[in-house]
Chain A
C-alpha cells in the first residue's frame, strides 16, 4: 500500500521555509495546498511559468480578426447601408466592437483553459484533501511509507520547521 505524508502548517512563513529546506534536501514535494496565494512559493518549488497568457494572446488575436472580419462582411458585403454619410468600410466605427470582442475572447478562453487544466468546473469530481486547507491551514504533501528511513528523515525535517501536525495517509 502506497502512502503519503500530509504536513499541516499554521503560518505561510513556516510553509515557505519548510518547502525551501525540503527542496534543498532534494525531497520530492507532491503538492502544496494553501488557502491563499503565497508569494514566492512558485519560485521555491521551481514551478514552470504558466502558459495561460499565451492562451489569452492567441484567443485575443482570433477575437480581433473575427470581430473585424465579421463587421466588414456585414457592413460592406452582405447588407451595405448608408449610415451618417460615412463609407461602408469605415475603420473607426469598427474599432470599439473589435476591442470589446478581443477582450471577451481572451477572457473567456483564459477562464476555460484554466478550468480545463486544473480539472475544475462543472461536473468535476475532485475531493478536497482536508477542509481546513480552505480556511487557515497550509499543507505540504510528500510521498512516504511508514517507518522507513525516508519517512523518518522527512518527519524530522518537518518537525524542525515547525509543522503543526503531521499525518500519514494512504492513497485510495
Chain B
C-alpha cells in the first residue's frame, strides 16, 4: 500500500496553470472592464474569506472529532490537517486589508457624522479591528499547528500520551473557535453593511464554512483516489462524508430561512434593507444560491447509493463549492459595490488565482507526511468502520 503522496510534476503544472489562467483573466479584466479600487479589494476579501474558511474547516474537523472520541475519521485525518496548513498564508493575505480598509468598510472613514456608526465605534474602529484579527489568527494558527504536530508525534510513538494531549488541544481550539467564528463574521462580513445587524449571522456563516469545507474534503479524496492513493478510504467513509454534506446543506438552508423569515415578519426598514438590496439587484443569483446549496444537494444525495458513489458525490460537492462561493459573493458585493455589481472576469480570475495557490499549498503539505497515520488508538476502528 502506497501511503506516501508524491506531488507529481504534472499535478504541479495543473495547479500553476489554474493560477496563470486566473492572472491572465485579471489582466484582461483591467484592459476591458477597468475595475475600480473597490471591486479589486472586494475580490481580495471574498477569496481571502473563502479559502480561509476551507482551511479553518480542516482544523475544526480534527478538533471536533477528537473531542467527540470519533473513530471513523482517523484514517483520513491527514487531509483536513493539510487543509489547515493554508492558515498562515490566509493570515498574510488578510493583513493586506490594511491598505484596502477605506475601500471596503464604510465605517472606517473618520468624517462620517453618522450617529449609528458612531454608536458602534467602540467595537468598529481600526486599531481594535486589527488587534482582533491578530488574535484570531494567532489562536487558529497556533492551535492548528500544535494539533498537526501532535498528530505527527503520535505516528512516531506508541505511547498514547500524545493522543491525550491532542484532546486538550482540540478542546481549546473548539472553545476559541466558538467565539472567534462568530466575531470574525461580524468583523469581516457583517460590518460591510454597518447599519444592519442580525444575531443569527455568525452561525449562518459558520454552517456555510462547514458545508464548503466538507465539499472540499470530498473533492480532495476524489482527486487522491483518482491518482491511485488512499485505498483504505472505503465507501463507508464516503457515506459518512456524504451524510455530512447532505445534513449540513439542510441546516444551512434552515439558518438561511430563519434569518430571512424573522426579518420578513417584523418588517423593520433597518433590517429589510439587507434583503431588499439583494433581491432587487440580484434576483437570479439570490435564488440560484438556494438551488445550488440546498435544493440540488438535497435531492441528489437523498438515497444511500448516491452517497456511496464517489463520482456522483464529488460532482455534488463541486456544485456546493460554487454555491458557497456565490453565497459569500452575495454577502459582500451589494454592501461594497452597490446593486449594480456584476460577476465579471476579475471575479473569476481572482478565484482561479487563489485556487491554484491553495491547491498547491494543500497538496504540498499532503506530500510532506504519509497519508495514513500510525499508532492512533482509533485507527483500527476506522478500518473496520461500518455506517
Contact = CB atoms under 8 A, between A and B. Distances in A.
B303 A53 contact: yes
A93 interface: yes
A40 B304 contact: no
B302 A57 contact: yes
A49 interface: yes
B111 to A, nearest CB: 39
Contact of B267 (A40, A85, A95, A96): A85
A53 B386 CA distance: 19
B264 A40 contact: no
B261 A95 contact: yes
B51 to A, nearest CB: 33
A114 B90 CA distance: 51
B99 interface: no
Contacts of A93: 261, 265
A102 to B, nearest CB: 12
Contacts of B260: 92
Interface string B260-277: 110011010000000000
B267 A84 contact: yes
A60 to B, nearest CB: 10
A39 interface: yes
B257 interface: yes
Interface in A17-63: 39-40, 49, 53, 57
A33 B178 CA distance: 46
Interface in B299-334: 302-304
B294 to A, nearest CB: 12
Contacts of B264: 92
A95 to B, nearest CB: 7
Contacts, number: 20
Given A53-B304, A57-B302, A40 B386 contact: yes
Interface in A78-95: 84-85, 92-93, 95
B129 to A, nearest CB: 35
A85 B264 CA distance: 11
A156 to B, nearest CB: 30
A61 B340 CA distance: 39
A95 B257 contact: yes
A96 B267 CA distance: 18
B302 to A, nearest CB: 7
Contacts of A39: 386
Interface in B240-272: 257, 260-261, 264-265, 267
Contacts of A57: 302
A86 to B, nearest CB: 8
Contacts of A92: 257, 260-261, 264-265
A40 B304 CA distance: 16
Contacts of A95: 257, 261
Interface string A91-132: 011011000000000000000000000000000000000000
Contacts of B386: 39-40
Nearest to B260: A92
Interface string A127-163: 0000000000000000000000000000000000000
A84 B264 CA distance: 11
A75 to B, nearest CB: 15
A58 to B, nearest CB: 12
A108 B264 CA distance: 32
Please indicate which of the listed interface residues A40, A85, A92, A93 has the most CB atoms of chain B within 10 Å of its own CB.
A92
Contacts of A84: 265, 267
Contacts of A85: 267
Given A39-B386, A40-B386, A96 B303 contact: no
Interface in B193-221: none
Nearest to B385: A39
B387 to A, nearest CB: 9
A53 B303 CA distance: 8
A49 B261 contact: no
B302 A96 contact: no
A57 B257 CA distance: 22
Interface in B274-310: 302-304
Contacts of B302: 53, 57
A49 B265 contact: no
B259 to A, nearest CB: 11
B382 to A, nearest CB: 14
A93 B267 CA distance: 13
Contact of B261 (A40, A53, A96): A96
Going nearest first, the 7 A-B pairs with the smallest beta carbon separation are A39-B386, A92-B261, A92-B264, A40-B386, A95-B257, A92-B260, A57-B302
20 contacts: A39-B386, A40-B386, A49-B304, A53-B302, A53-B303, A53-B304, A57-B302, A84-B265, A84-B267, A85-B267, A92-B257, A92-B260, A92-B261, A92-B264, A92-B265, A93-B261, A93-B265, A95-B257, A95-B261, A96-B261
Given A53-B302, A53-B304, A92-B264, 17 more contacts: A39-B386, A40-B386, A49-B304, A53-B303, A57-B302, A84-B265, A84-B267, A85-B267, A92-B257, A92-B260, A92-B261, A92-B265, A93-B261, A93-B265, A95-B257, A95-B261, A96-B261
